[in-house]
Structure 1
Amino acid sequence: MKTAAVAQTVPQTTVPESRAEMQLSFSPLVKQTSGAVVNVYAEKTVRQRSPFAGDPFLEQFFGQRMPNRSEKQSSLGSGVIVREDGTVVTNNHVIDGADDIKVALADGREFASTVVMKDERLDLAVLKIKGNGPFKVLPLGDSDKVEVGDLVLAIGNPFGVGQTVTSGIVSALARNQVTEGSDFSFFIQTDASINPGNSGGALIDMRGRLIGINTAIFSRGGGSNGIGFAIPANLVKVFVESAMGGGGKFARPYIGASFEPVTAEVAEALGLPRPRGALVTSVVEGGPAEKAGLKPGEVVLAVNGVEVEHPDALGYRLTTIGVGRTAQLQVSDNGREREMSLALEQAPEVPKRDARLLEGRSPLAGATVANLSPRVSEELRLPGRIRGVAITQLADGSPAARLGFAPRDIIVAINGVDIQSSADLEKIVRAGASLWRIEIERDGQRIRQFFR
């Protein structure tokens, strides 16, 4: 059955021009949306090791007097129900490491919940309420249509005082260099008051749509200074779709290239009218970028017609398009612009990671190591071109942890033998030695250490 297309008139945003308009209330909007914003209570058990643990002599005399103890720690945040079945979005740092998570609705009801998917680098988590719906939901808006100056409301549970609504405007878009350890920074900035406890709460527009998940603030004293940041709803939408699709892990597009910001000097040298875009610094052989025709020295200016401000913006645009799709890139090559198609693929795992836990009497005991592939390098945030064997995690209190080894360290050689695979490394460690000469690479620098 065919339907005729009907042109829709998009209402224009207007500025209040009279005292009557200035006295308008947000109350109807709050009543419409606040029921979908929840409190998230997370509790975890923390085990404290005895100061004598690991020392056989001291453990024999004092271990029973000072055994390992455990205590419970709780954290409080907010969340947003985005599906009627009780699917909740919050920040990963709100529930990270939690053994027990409860969700409290605005009407006072409390439910246990489970983690469907979480991602530390995006600082997002999806929870599922253990209860019968339908639950009130907050529809996801298009964060790409948000403009600086738009009115917004922030809803959450600051300092645990109860659900609180604050108002403000969108202060800036595409903010980067906001948080550490994330894949990329691409935030909506707002002056709506956001405080501890608001994390995971809603930033909504004047039509009652979710445009962001409140995540971070700039503050020296811990309170709101009118500089808050929210993860855009378009990224939240892709993350929720991935969680609902199963798999447990969020798949990021693998580009196979490295990028740097375009400075004013670089823009002038490359014939760009102003500094913008992502400068290609290297391309992995055989990767999607090389197949698309991207070359070092070129600048990516736009993705699917949307301007790219910096490398973080490029990562955001490609991530929100999603794995398995194709992105159209607008590229500048010494002032000459052209377009190309980039296939968005998941990073390959070649060679296989072959993760192994190193044991025995060696400085590396307690370290889990794996062969580096584009996928493992992406997970560890290492350059994709690096190959070898890297530490992926360390057991708490293990010899490797106490001696200063760290995840992302690349084991280059042991006792003069180059390490080619995790199997080779395990074999050398099992053989033992009276003197260990270990060479690692950390953040591009070679470090040699000696242990007895």
Structure 2
Amino acid sequence: MGRRTIGKRGRYGAAAMAMLLVAGLLPMPASSQSRQVPESRQQITLSFAPIATRAAASVVNVYGSRVEKQAPNPFMDDPFFRRFFGDGGFGVPRERVQRSLGSGVIVDVSGLVVTNNHVIENMSEVKVAFADKREMDAEILLRDPRTDLAVLKLKGAKAPAALELADADQVQIGDLVLAIGNPFGVGQTVTQGIVSALARTQVGVSDAQSFIQTDAAINPGNSGGALVDMEGRLIGINTAIFSRSGGNQGIGFAIPSGMVRLVVDSAKAGVNMVRRPWFGARLQALTADVADGLGLDRPAGSVVVSLVEGGPAAEGGLKRSDVILAVDGVTVDDPEAFGYRFATRPLGGTTTLTVLRGGKRVSVPVKLQSAPETRPREAVKLSGRSPLSGATLLNLSPAVAEELALEAGSDGVVVGEVSEGSTAARIGFQKGDIIMALNGERMKSSRDVEAAFRERKRAWEVTISRGGQTITSVFPG
């Protein structure tokens, strides 16, 4: 059924899980018409059929597959075993087909389909199935693990219909919504609920980190499905749930249409990665004690901890210890909410930050520009007798740091990819690990690391930085 789970503990309960779903639908932009509370049963909509019927044509099932070759039995290198089992026995490499199942939303009649990245991750073939049972091959245009979104393109035909992206900023708590997807692979299913909360930032699924929460029934298989408003417009892509049982318990999360639009626009521009504005500063959440000392009524905001020299934040006049309260007039309560709001601003313009500085509120303009490549990447894939064999290393620059979601100002050498089944993968090295030193010597470039591993050593002491923590391990040479 193609599902992933993310453990959630603490305030959500030791047994709670955040579960990535698989399914799909795509909505359209939300309207600005006034909302009215129904005063009688006659004023309540008794059927969502017109909305569901209109949206269903734009929701598809997404199927992914790839063939994995399993290693032959090592005993087949022994003549004794080959004598009894022959060349065609259990030592012959076998093939295993891995499949995933989810949903997708057609967002453009040219054939663009949005789904979750985890639905098609590592898949070599992708197909989509329409509500009328027709199937069509699709190619992957863009994958973005940071947002857990991906864009597909239907091969050889245009889409019959497309959902319009709503303005998620117009969504309000209490709005009626429909969730459309393919739960448990049973087929296209529509459920109804309300918007339970907005700007949820502690879901832990991706760095979209400003989820719409809904109580509409969402289950495994709904990943990539649509959350639509009462005009049939897409307000979010259903992505995760919190659950003790693995099924729906009324707490589901959708990536807002603002982030969906950013990913789709990048795909339309013909690039294979999402184009985000670069901020060039590191932030941390405002604590209750600091907020009280600043005279704020609640701990809402982000403190500037450090700035990248020459970056947009520094050039715009932002300073250390500034507290960012809003982006273009929209309140941002923490660094995650700021990251979403800033990332979805259009490149090429300027955004205005509301900042608390010295007890006064000031406006700081920040240019929206891409992170620069300040040095060549010099991609090096290591091999041979090395604990990092199978890892591809890159020289860090603002552009590389932005792509890998690393902290602003990171420098040195970073792991860009780790080949499946390689020595580096088996040891546990991960994409985004920063190689700080080998045997106590600082590594400044990918070529430095490559040259160091050419030497024969009895042991290798490898120091890396991961998620702000320094880790040192020793491996045999």
Same fold (TM over 0.5): yes
Deviation at 1:224, TM superposition (A): 0.4
The AA in structure 1 aligned to 2:435 is I
Aligned residue for 1:426, secondary structure, equals: helix
Deviation at 1:110, TM superposition (A): 1.1
Question: What's the CA shift string for 1:351-403, capped at 9, x where partnerless?
Answer: 22111011233333222111111222223333222321122222233333334
Name the counterpart of 1:145. 170
> Would the aligned equivalents of 2:208 and 2:255 in 1 still touch at CA under 8 Å?
no
> Would the aligned equivalents of 2:276 and 2:344 in 1 still touch at CA under 8 Å?
no
Shift of the 16–39 alpha-carbon distance from structure 1 to 2, 3 Å rule, reads same
Name the counterpart of 1:4. none
1:74 is aligned, of 76, 81, 99, to: 99
Shift of the 23–241 alpha-carbon distance from structure 1 to 2, 3 Å rule, reads closer
Name the counterpart of 1:204. 228
After alignment, is 61-70 or 12-21 more displaced? 61-70
1:213-228 equivalences in 2 (<5 Å): 213-228=237-252
2:47 is aligned, of 5, 9, 25, to: 25
TM-score of the superposed pair, with normalisation by structure 2? 0.87
Question: What's the CA shift string for 1:56-77, capped at 9, x where partnerless?
Answer: x984567964344321121111
Name the counterpart of 1:3. none
1:48 is aligned, of 45, 55, 70, to: 70
1:294-443 equivalences in 2 (<5 Å): 294-442=318-466, 443=468
1:169 is aligned, of 194, 206, 221, to: 194
Distance of 2:475 and 2:142 partners within structure 1: 41
Q: Is the counterpart of residue 280 in structure 1 residue 298 in structure 2?
A: no
Name the counterpart of 2:114. 89
The AA in structure 1 aligned to 2:374 is V
Distance of 1:81 and 1:283 partners within structure 2: 40
Deviation at 1:134, TM superposition (A): 4.9
> Would the aligned equivalents of 2:463 and 2:470 in 1 still touch at CA under 8 Å?
no
Shift of the 450–116 alpha-carbon distance from structure 1 to 2, 3 Å rule, reads closer
Amino-acid identity (%): 51
Name the counterpart of 1:104. 129
Distance of 1:84 and 1:407 partners within structure 2: 35
> Would the aligned equivalents of 1:373 and 1:384 in 2 still touch at CA under 8 Å?
no
Alignment length (residue pairs)? 439
Deviation at 1:118, TM superposition (A): 1.3
Q: Is the counterpart of residue 451 in structure 1 residue 476 in structure 2?
A: yes
After alignment, is 99-108 or 163-172 more displaced? 99-108
Distance of 2:107 and 2:344 partners within structure 1: 17
Shift of the 349–268 alpha-carbon distance from structure 1 to 2, 3 Å rule, reads same
> Would the aligned equivalents of 2:106 and 2:159 in 1 still touch at CA under 8 Å?
no
> Would the aligned equivalents of 2:32 and 2:170 in 1 still touch at CA under 8 Å?
no
After alignment, is 186-195 or 71-80 more displaced? 71-80
Gaps of 5+ in 1: 1-8
Name the counterpart of 1:5. none
Deviation at 1:166, TM superposition (A): 0.5
Distance of 1:82 and 1:437 partners within structure 2: 50
Distance of 1:381 and 1:305 partners within structure 2: 25
Aligned residue for 1:20, secondary structure, equals: helix
Distance of 1:188 and 1:50 partners within structure 2: 47
> Would the aligned equivalents of 2:262 and 2:274 in 1 still touch at CA under 8 Å?
no
Name the counterpart of 2:56. 34
Distance of 1:126 and 1:368 partners within structure 2: 25
After alignment, is 18-27 or 123-132 more displaced? 18-27
Distance of 2:34 and 2:475 partners within structure 1: 69
Aligned residue for 1:253, secondary structure, equals: coil
Deviation at 1:10, TM superposition (A): 5.8
> Would the aligned equivalents of 1:264 and 1:275 in 2 still touch at CA under 8 Å?
yes
TM-score of the superposed pair, with normalisation by structure 1? 0.91
Deviation at 1:92, TM superposition (A): 0.8
Q: Is the counterpart of residue 231 in structure 1 residue 255 in structure 2?
A: yes
The AA in structure 2 aligned to 1:49 is A
Question: What's the CA shift string for 1:172-221, capped at 9, x where partnerless?
Answer: 000011134x2241100000001111111111111111111111111122
Aligned residue for 1:387, secondary structure, equals: coil
Deviation at 1:11, TM superposition (A): 3.6
Aligned residue for 1:73, secondary structure, equals: strand
Distance of 1:85 and 1:404 partners within structure 2: 42
> Would the aligned equivalents of 1:271 and 1:334 in 2 still touch at CA under 8 Å?
no
Q: Runs (4+) of structure 1 moved beyond 6 Å?
A: none
Gaps of 5+ in 2: 1-30
Deviation at 1:93, TM superposition (A): 0.9
The AA in structure 2 aligned to 1:427 is A
